[in-house]
Structure 1
Amino acid sequence: MSRIVSAAGALVDRIKINAVWRECRDGRALWIKQRRWTARPVMACANRFFRLAGNPIQALDQIAMWQRWEVECFLQLHGGEFRAFAEGASAVAAEEVPGKNLSYHLDNGTLTPRMLEAAARELRRAHAAECATFRGPWSHGDPHAGNFVYDAATDRARLIDFEVMHHPTIRADERQADDLLIFLQDMVGRIAAEQWLPSAGRFLEGYGRPEIVALLRKKLVVPRGLPRVWWAVRTTYLNTAELKRRIGALRERI
């Protein structure tokens, strides 16, 4: 199993579906994402794997759909302050939001309870938005730490990057519980053991929706088989015994 996990992880790490760069226009910093011509077959394979692994998300392999989703989500969450737009036939541009992403803070040991609370507030705010595509409340589909940008000056986190989406047929509360799970999966393998429960608890308390946390609790079980491979990728290949210990401890706590 460990060889399968390692091979899958190496493959995922090599997948680069977009070229990304930063540029300034009219005094405003923009991030440009250009879809690579090789992306579509890679994403088709990814979607097949997601289905087999029981992962409730889909990669947006149709470029026009991806551009529309990226821009709509960004503007819905941040349109009062920042711009986003399709750039030509295969790219999107979004204004840079202030701060550093939480993945940076995880990697550098500078993640704080205030940052976790800010991320939780942002996710709760986003989950309250109505979405025409879902015909109900919105969800992100991939809210790992790198997709939250924290601005210390305002104690505000903002969600970015809308490359994937949940399947619209899934109930809103299940989609939103999955968003919580994704953030926790990203954190569990990248934080010291003694910090895991306090940090996870602070995030869930900041989110403040017990009905969604109750659904999350049912998802806090380390699976076997192909779903375990995806969990390994999500949890930075934390060894199985330690992963089960940490996830089980959180499940008991909530």
Structure 2
Amino acid sequence: MDSLQQAAGRLMNRVRVNHVQATERDGAAVFVKRRRAGALAVIWFANRFMALAHNGTSMYLRADEWAAWEVYCAQLLYPERPGARVESSSAVVLPRVDGISVRTMVRRSHPDVRTALVLAARELRRVHETTCAHYRAGWSHGDLHLDNILCDVAEGRATLIDFDIRHAFDVSATLRQCDDVMAVLLEPIGWPDDRWLSLATAFVEEYRRPAVLEALGRQLLVPRGVARLLWYVGTNGASMKQIEPRLQKLQQIVSAVQRGQS
């Protein structure tokens, strides 16, 4: 099982279906994000894998549908940053965002990483309270690993990026948003040192949405089968012996925050 988990981890970490280029359009700094040639086969296999894991997410097979969704999310969440638009059937233009990914901050042992997690939780709470016309309920990300959260600590701001994967439209808002929170917390749980505890606590305390935390408390169990492989990827290959006691500790953190709200 360990060798299968490692192989799945290497495969998922190499999935790159889009190419991103920093450039300028009309004098403004932007990113041009373009669907790679040959991405269709990769997406098909990734969707099959996610379907087998029953995790309720998928990627758009058609590039034009992905482009429309990417721009829709950017405009919905950040209307104060104009310029997000579809450039072609397989490319989008997005305003360039200042900041460093939370994952990069962690790897560099950045002194402000705790502040970054608090900003990330605050931003996630805000976007989860934003109504999405497609879901007819609160919005959710679907692939919220720490590289998809940029933080500008000096400005006190976090920004969510990369809307390649989405939750299914028939999944409830609470479960979708619980999945987002879980995706953020899985990475700290997998860290080899004890930093995870204070950072996970800070994140949960700042997020603090009751219904989502209640759902999260029920989800803090290592799954079986293919879904377990996705957890292995999400924790960057941490052993289950490390993860299971930390999940129990995380349940205690969630329960403590819930008690503080009652």
TM-score category (smaller protein): over 0.9
Q: Report the residue type matching 2:196 in the other structure.
A: W
Q: Where do residues 50-129 of structure 1 align in structure 2 (5 Å cutoff)?
A: 50-110=50-110, 111-129=112-130
Partner Cα separation in structure 2 for residue 17 and residue 6 of structure 1: 21
Residue of structure 2 in register with 1:164 after alignment = 165
Partner Cα separation in structure 1 for residue 56 and residue 107 of structure 2: 27
Deviations 1:153-212 (A, max 9, x none): 2111011111011011111111111110011112322x3532212111110111121221
Q: Relative to 1, partners in 2 of residues 1:210 and 1:192: Cα closer, same or farther, differing over 3 Å?
A: farther
Partner Cα separation in structure 2 for residue 238 and residue 7 of structure 1: 14
Does structure 2 conserve the Cα–Cα contact (< 8 Å) formed by 1:21 and 1:33? Answer: yes
Residue of structure 2 in register with 1:130 after alignment = 131
**Identity across matched positions, percent:** 36
Partner Cα separation in structure 2 for residue 20 and residue 242 of structure 1: 35
Residue of structure 2 in register with 1:18 after alignment = 18
Deviations 1:25-49 (A, max 9, x none): 3332111111012111211111111
Partner Cα separation in structure 1 for residue 201 and residue 248 of structure 2: 13
Residue of structure 1 in register with 2:144 after alignment = 143
Residue of structure 2 in register with 1:4 after alignment = 4
Provide structure 1 residue ranges, at least 5 long, that are not aligned to the other structure. Answer: none
Partner Cα separation in structure 2 for residue 10 and residue 196 of structure 1: 23
Q: Report the residue type matching 1:198 in the other structure.
A: S
Partner Cα separation in structure 2 for residue 63 and residue 54 of structure 1: 23
Deviations 1:78-134 (A, max 9, x none): 121242111112111101111111111011111522211110110011011111111
**What is the TM-score with the length of structure 1 in the denominator?**
0.95
Q: Relative to 1, partners in 2 of residues 1:208 and 1:252: Cα closer, same or farther, differing over 3 Å?
A: closer
Does structure 1 conserve the Cα–Cα contact (< 8 Å) formed by 2:70 and 2:163? Answer: yes
Residue of structure 1 in register with 2:209 after alignment = 209
Partner Cα separation in structure 1 for residue 10 and residue 151 of structure 2: 29
Residue of structure 2 in register with 1:40 after alignment = 40
Partner Cα separation in structure 1 for residue 236 and residue 126 of structure 2: 28
Superposition deviation, residue 19 in structure 1: 1.6
Q: Relative to 1, partners in 2 of residues 1:97 and 1:82: Cα closer, same or farther, differing over 3 Å?
A: farther
Does structure 1 conserve the Cα–Cα contact (< 8 Å) formed by 2:106 and 2:113? Answer: no
Residue of structure 2 in register with 1:252 after alignment = 252
Deviations 1:28-72 (A, max 9, x none): 211111101211121111111111111111112211110111001
Partner Cα separation in structure 2 for residue 15 and residue 123 of structure 1: 25
Does structure 1 conserve the Cα–Cα contact (< 8 Å) formed by 2:81 and 2:95? Answer: no
Superposition deviation, residue 2 in structure 1: 0.7
